[in-house]
Amino acid sequence: MHKFPLWVGVVLAALSVSAADAAEDDAFEFFREEAKVYTASRREESAWRAPVAVDVVTAEEIRAYGYASLADLLRFRAGLDVYDARSADGSRAIVSARGFTRDFVAEMQVLIDGRSVYSPFLGGVYWASLPVQMQDIERVEIVRGPNAALYGSNAALGVINIITRKPGRRPAGSLSASGGNRSAAASEAAEAGSPRGGLRVSHSYEEATGNPAPNGVGNANDFLHSNKLNLRASLSPDEATELEFLGGGSWQTLGVPGYAVDTRSSHAHDFLQLRAARDLDSAGSIEAVISRSEFRLSEDRFLSRPVDMRVYQYDAEALHRLEWAGGRASSVAGGSWRLSGIYSDQLFTGRPAQQNRVVRGFVHQSLHLTDRLTAAAGFSLEDSRVGGLQPAWQAAALFSPREDQTFRLSYARAPTMPPLFNKYGDFLLGATRFVGNEDLPPQHLSSWEAGWTCRALDGALKSDVTLYYLEIRDRIFSYVQSAGPPRVTAYDNRNRASARGVELSEEYAFSAGRAVFANYTFERIQDDKGPTDTFATDLRRGTPSHKLNVGGRALLARGFAGTVVLGYKDAYDANSSNRGTRRPVPRSFRLDSRVSWTPRPGWELFLAGMDLLQPYRVESADGTASPRRFEGGVSARFGL
């Protein structure tokens, strides 16, 4: 009997496996291709085939886990560092990607519906004061790693893109109220529309007694009264055109903890935005956005003296998306203009009005070289008052040996513009004078990244592994220029820092409403300067080396559902450059859990507990502790 060589059998077996896979994939291939058209018209991309690490949080997840704030939403995601921290000017959270954690992370861009909410004052974001409500969020896209070629400077460590809900085409609304041992909140929203357009209005109110002192007792003057109002209107004069108006604001009064005398700060952040988009049949689509925003801060004692500040920003952006070469190539090209400025008699003594104009052009190209290999590249050229002419670029290769697996390799360079205060500030605070450095050039970040993304078991299992190395040249730090009196603190950039890390993420949805996830992050930071920064920040220990989060959600019987998340953080040093303090934080666990009951569709009663393992836990250098929190509440949704 003639025997087939072994290799023939192996090849046949491999072919039969491939053929079976192909037949199975066919069941969804058509819908997948058609869905690309659907999502492309909404300017969405398939996250699992993005050239950089992307994590998406959907509205359904937000509701299931009951996230009460953006910080809560981001806390347990891979690659992010989120601390419950209070800065000296009323910021109530620190969020950073891939290390370099401090009060204001100048290297991270945050967008709400495409509009930058990055503050040009100190760099970074006033998270609690953003004019966006949790009930309005449709999804949050977290891009880890540089994306300056598409989003402009300051998108070096990552981009967080918050996308809000468009008004539906039928009347709908929601109401919710909750309360607990540390806060109370209420929100309401209503929307209505037709095939031609719609309108959504939402409002929320929150009142928090906030964090106690580090010993877990007493009131640390950490309170919050917050009102937020948002409006979104859309109009489609024809099938291909969409016009949108977005507007809203956030008005808050906050206690600033950590001082001997109670300090109060008020924030007001409002915006207007107009967006027009049109599909141009075979010529792709065009989109134009103009917006205006203003942030006003008034603090009765900024460390020791009253401070008022007004930050404004005008933006205009136009872009063109195009698919060509039979769909094998896609291009995005555009240009933007920004005028941002600040006015403060106290922070910019003698020259209270400071402005920055930015003009930028960018192009991004993706090319399917073969069915399995895709190349992507982007280039951006930006000219600004604070940074001069700055290029940014990125290049990536994606290899998909199978439909459900993608390997990616990318390199990017991204500039980070110095914040206006570092450049032009002049602030006398007690015996110290802070002076900007007008010669301060931008920071430059280079990043190498390799990743693997896989979907298996009918897409129920999603895996992502990312390895990265990044280097920041010309990193900005503060130093003592003269011992005084007054002591003069200035800024310089003769520094180099680097970070390397691994991010692992697994998610398995084993049936309707039942899913588990786990992610692990390893980060190591090197900093030439070490702990010699005037503000005592030591970046090398500023982020935990190891972080692990595991959690899940489940639909239980009789309308009950539950979620549980356990997070672990290694020890680190909490930095506050804003306060000039540092505090060692031991390793810690955090357990959050939530149980809800849905007696009828749309209604929900819930009980939630945060930080359940200990009565309080210190995780920042702000002079407060994060306490154990309990909340309960009810919500009703109609027509949504």
Contact status, residue 629 vs residue 218, Cβ threshold 8 Å: no
Query: Rounded to whole angstroms, what are the CA distances from 194 to 41, 199, 526?
Result: 19, 9, 56
Q: Which of 49, 169, 264, 296 binds another protein (CB under 8 A)?
A: 169
Judged by CB under 8 A, which stretch of 18-26, 90-98, 299-307, 431-439 contacts another protein? 18-26
Instruction: Pick one of 4, 5, 282, 558: the residue that binds another protein (CB under 8 A).
Output: 282
| Contact set for another protein, span 235-254 (CB under 8 A) | 238-240
Pick 485 or 601: Cβ nearer another protein: 601
Check residue 638 for interaction with another protein (CB under 8 A): no
Q: From the CB of 138, what's the least distance to another protein, in Å?
A: 7
Q: Does 460 bind another protein (CB under 8 A)?
A: yes
Task: Using CB under 8 A, pick the residue from 10, 32, 361, 584 that binds another protein.
Answer: 32
Structure tokens at 511: 């049936």
One residue of 38, 304, 306, 401 binding another protein per CB under 8 A:
38
Q: Read out DSSP for 553-565?
A: EEE-GGGEEEEEE
Backbone φ, ψ for residue 506 (5° rounding)? -130, 140
455 near another protein, rule: CB under 8 A: yes
Q: Does 168 bind another protein (CB under 8 A)?
A: yes
How far is Cα 88 from Cα 97, in angstroms, rounded to an integer? 22
For residues 565 and 122, what is the distance between their CA atoms, to the nearest angstrom? 33
173 in contact with another protein (CB under 8 A): no
Return the bridge partners of 242, or none: 277
**Among 8, 17, 60, 181, which residue interacts with another protein (rule: CB under 8 A)?**
60
**Segment contacting another protein by CB under 8 A, of 278-286, 471-479, 485-493, 524-532:** 278-286
For residues 193 to 232, the per-residue mask of contacts with another protein, x marking binding by CB under 8 A and - elsewhere, is --x-------------------------------------
Segment near another protein (CB under 8 A); pick from 155-163, 416-424, 507-515, 528-536: 507-515
Query: Nearest 5°: CA angle at 343, between 577 and 488?
Result: 40
Q: Which of residues 100-139 bind another protein (CB under 8 A)?
A: 138-139
Q: Any bridge partners for residue 489, and if so which?
A: 434, 480
Could you tell me the smallest distance in angstroms from the CB atom of residue 635 to another protein? Answer: 13
- Out of 5, 218, 485, 601, name the contact with another protein by CB under 8 A: 601
Other Cβ atoms less than 10 A from the Cβ of 453: the count is: 23
Q: From 356, 361, 352, 542, select the one nearest 442 (Cα to Cα).
A: 356
Residue choice 186, 190, 555, 636 for contact with another protein (CB under 8 A): 555
Least gap, CB of 408 to another protein (angstroms): 21
User: Binding to another protein by residue 31, rule CB under 8 A?
Assistant: yes
Q: Applying CB under 8 A, does 459 fall inside the site for another protein?
A: yes
CA 36 to CA 68: how far, in whole Å? 32
**Binding to another protein by residue 327, rule CB under 8 A?**
yes
Alpha carbons 543 and 523: distance in angstroms, whole number: 8
Interface segment toward another protein; rule CB under 8 A; list 247-255, 287-295, 319-327, 608-616 = 319-327
Residue ranges in 345-404 that form contacts with another protein under rule CB under 8 A: none
40-59 binders of another protein (CB under 8 A): 41, 58-59
CB distance 266 to 96 below 8 Å:
no
The answer to whether the CB of 409 falls within 8 A of the CB of 166 is: no
At its nearest, how many Å lie between another protein and the CB of residue 593?
19
In the complex with another protein, which residue's Cβ is closer, 23 or 389? Answer: 23
- Measured CA to CA, the distance from residue 121 to residue 80 in angstroms comes to 23
Question: How many Å apart are CA 404 and CA 49, to the nearest integer?
Answer: 10
Any long-range contacts for 202-207 (C-beta under 8 Å, 24+ apart)?
202/133, 202/135, 202/136, 202/229, 202/230, 202/231, 203/133, 203/227, 203/228, 203/229, 203/230, 204/133, 204/134, 204/135, 204/228, 207/183
Instruction: Specify whether the CB–CB gap between 110 and 116 falls below 8 A.
Output: yes
The answer to whether residue 602 forms part of the interface with another protein (CB under 8 A) is yes
Report residue 88 as tokens.
């000296």
323 binds another protein, rule: CB under 8 A? yes
Asked whether position 439 contacts another protein by CB under 8 A, the answer is no
Task: Give least dist CB 239 to another protein, A.
Answer: 4
* Cis, peptide link before residue 531, omega less than 30° from 0: no
For the record, the structure tokens of 22 come out as 């192909």
- DSSP string across 608-631: EEESTTSSEE--SSSS--EEPEEE
Name the one residue in this structure whose structure tokens are 């920040």: 537
Name residues contacting another protein, limited to 255-274 (CB under 8 A): none
Which residues partner with 3 through β-bridges? none
Structure tokens at 526: 């090197």
**Which span sits near another protein by CB under 8 A: 174-182, 444-452, 564-572, 594-602?**
594-602
* Helices and strands in the chain: count of H runs, count of E runs: 5, 37
CB closer to another protein out of 165 and 579: 165
Spatial neighbors of 475 by CB under 8 A, at least 6 apart, are: 443, 493, 495, 496, 497, 527, 529
Residue 553 CB, nearest approach to another protein (Å): 10
Angstrom distance (rounded) from CA 286 to CA 358: 21
How many Cβ atoms are within 10 Å of 229's Cβ, its own excluded? Answer: 17
Nearest CB to another protein, comparing residues 413 and 455: 455
38: enclosing H helix or E strand? helix 6-41
Span of 250-258, 416-424, 596-604, 616-624 interacting with another protein by CB under 8 A? 596-604
Cα–Cα distance for residue pair 438/420, rounded to 1 Å: 9
Which residue among 325, 389, 431, 557 contacts another protein (CB under 8 A)? Answer: 325
* 483 is a site residue for another protein (CB under 8 A): no
Beta carbon nearer to another protein, 169 or 385: 169
| 41 vs 349, beta carbon nearer another protein | 41
User: Candidates 87-95, 322-330, 344-352, 387-395 — which segment interacts with another protein by CB under 8 A?
Assistant: 322-330
Minimum CB distance to another protein smaller for 370 or for 511: 511
Q: Which is nearer to another protein, 486 or 559 (CB)?
A: 559
Number of Cα atoms under 13 Å in the Cβ half of residue 186: 0
Judged by CB under 8 A, how many residues of this single chain contact another protein?
53
Whole-angstrom Cα distance, residue 212 to residue 167? 40
- For residue 512, state whether it binds another protein (rule: CB under 8 A): yes
From candidates 29, 345, 383, 528, binder to another protein by CB under 8 A: 29
Q: Which residues bind another protein (CB under 8 A)?
A: 23-24, 26-35, 37-38, 41, 58-60, 63-64, 138-139, 168-169, 195, 238-240, 279-282, 323-327, 455, 458-460, 509-513, 555, 559, 561, 598, 600-602
